[in-house]
Chains A and B, each alone.
Chain A
Amino acid sequence: MRVIIAVLLIILTAGAQAGSQTPSKSVFQPEQIIDFAKQVERYAAEHQAHAFIIGRVGRQQKDLPKGIHFTHTAVAIYSAISLDDGSTEYGYAIHNLYQRADDPGRSDIIVDYPVDFFWGAQTLKAGIVIPTPAVQERLIALISEQKHLGLHNPRYSVIANPFNSERQNCTEFTLDMLQAALYQTADKKRIKANNVAYFKPQRVHISPLKLAVGSMVTDGVTTSDHKGRVRTATFTTISHYLTQFNLSQHAVVLYANGRTQAI
């Protein structure tokens, strides 16, 4: 009995430090990641996307809860990128909400680039949702004017409730950016009200016991912002939201072998 309790305590302690926050090591060769990242960029460029929603899979497929196909979502914007050697190149900059590895209950807004974005991918597949030109225009305006930074809530939960402002994860931040762009507002109450009115989140199919235990072992998991069933925003539900309201121009999953699958 003492041994069991000791093991439990060790796991609980380790979980509090690592849990879902352990950064994944790259499981692919750097050349594979570089090639795939460029493939994603070229695909978006061929579709003349100045702004699109991008998703990656950073966990093994078998570890993903039912209904969740991507683990990280952000907005990619076609940009002139000034480099450290003084030159300028053109490609996509990705605007992310990232959970802190050393403080899992907090997050930061970070701009990175496709190779960075896919570095921790466990599967070389990308979610790509290209909104209609009108939505792209508004997203570009929002980010150009840095208004998206005001939408950030640094209190992180992996299963954040998109219907309130208590916690936020990467996908909810993406959704909030979209809503702010669509309604051209910085009013968080209005954004959340429209999430409630029009957005259908994904139910998280994890037992209440696991969620309770998860919230014990890491600050990055909490159900405190939920009442009843746990639902959260996902890459796929954002895609469905845009499609439902005729705001999506093109939505696919792109694989490393070049195959695409409509979402």
Chain B
Amino acid sequence: MKKLVIALLTSVVVSQGAMAADSVDHSGQASKHSVLASVEGAASTASVASAVVAAPVIVTGMSVVAVADSTHHSVKALHAKHQRNTKPLTITTRVITRDPPPSEVVVEQTVKQ
């Protein structure tokens, strides 16, 4: 019995790490937003902003076309036009993040009052 319990104990400890898979949502961590805010204050280049909504787009030549509410055929047509474009897609230099969790928003507002 004692050996069985020890074996089980060992397995529990080992299995904690072995099965951890990290699909947990880190993006709502309260600490992350305050850290990013401090980075924005200290660094001259990092500008942090919260995203409201993201809409898929396709770059076709000189224009950027939103594909929301489009049919598959129009996405295909847009993408076909894009294939003639060999320039890298534009990536913002701003640091975009999800909004912080409600608990942090309330704390922030309380502090400001």
A138 CA to B76 CA in the complex, in Å? 8
A87 CA to B83 CA in the complex, in Å? 28
A71 with B8: in contact, given A48-B82, A90-B64, A90-B90 (CB under 8 Å)? no
Q: Answer yes or no: B112 CB below 8 A from chain A CBs.
A: no
* Closest beta carbon of chain B to A252's beta carbon, Å: 16
Count of chain A residues near B, Cβ 8 A: 95
CB <8 Å contact, B23 and A144? no
Q: Determine the chain B residues whose CB is within 8 A of the CB of A119 once the complex forms.
A: 26-27, 29, 32
CB <8 Å contact, A213 and B26? no
Q: Determine the chain A residues whose CB is within 8 A of the CB of B39 once the complex forms.
A: 30-31, 34
Q: Answer yes or no: A236 CB below 8 A from chain B CBs.
A: no
A144 partner, pick from B51, B69, B82, B85, beta carbons under 8 A: B69
What are the interface flags for A82-126 relative to B under an 8 Å C-beta threshold, 1 for contact and 0 otherwise? 111101011111001111110000011011110111011000000
A19 with B16: in contact, given A48-B88, A93-B54, A113-B97 (CB under 8 Å)? yes
CB <8 Å contact, B11 and A210? yes
CB <8 Å contact, B96 and A83? yes
Q: Determine the chain A residues whose CB is within 8 A of the CB of B23 once the complex forms.
A: 71-72, 96-99, 107, 156, 158, 169-170
Q: Determine the chain B residues whose CB is within 8 A of the CB of A154 once the complex forms.
A: none
CB <8 Å contact, B36 and A115? yes
A73 CA to B31 CA in the complex, in Å? 23
Q: Determine the chain B residues whose CB is within 8 A of the CB of A37 once the complex forms.
A: 95
A21 CA to B75 CA in the complex, in Å? 38
- By secondary structure, the B interface counts as mixed
Q: Determine the chain A residues whose CB is within 8 A of the CB of B26 once the complex forms.
A: 23-24, 58, 116, 119-120
Q: Answer yes or no: A262 CB below 8 A from chain B CBs.
A: no
Chain A 197-218 interface residues, beta-carbon cutoff 8 Å to B: 206-207, 209-211, 213-214, 217-218
CB <8 Å contact, B32 and A169? no
A45 with B90: in contact, given A93-B51, A93-B54 (CB under 8 Å)? yes
CB <8 Å contact, B82 and A20? no
Q: Answer yes or no: A225 CB below 8 A from chain B CBs.
A: no
CB <8 Å contact, A11 and B13? yes
What are the interface flags for B24-56 relative to A under an 8 Å C-beta threshold, 1 for contact and 0 otherwise? 111101011001101100010010011111111
B22 partner, pick from A120, A133, A213, beta carbons under 8 A: A120
A26 partner, pick from B2, B32, B46, beta carbons under 8 A: B32
CB <8 Å contact, A98 and B25? yes
CB-CB nearest 8 A-B residue pairs: A58-B22, A116-B27, A93-B54, A98-B25, A89-B92, A120-B26, A20-B20, A71-B22
Instruction: Beyond the given A31-B43, A50-B82, please list 12 additional residue pairs across the A-B interface where CB-CB is below 8 A.
Output: A8-B5, A20-B21, A41-B91, A81-B96, A112-B27, A115-B36, A117-B27, A120-B24, A141-B72, A144-B69, A170-B23, A211-B15
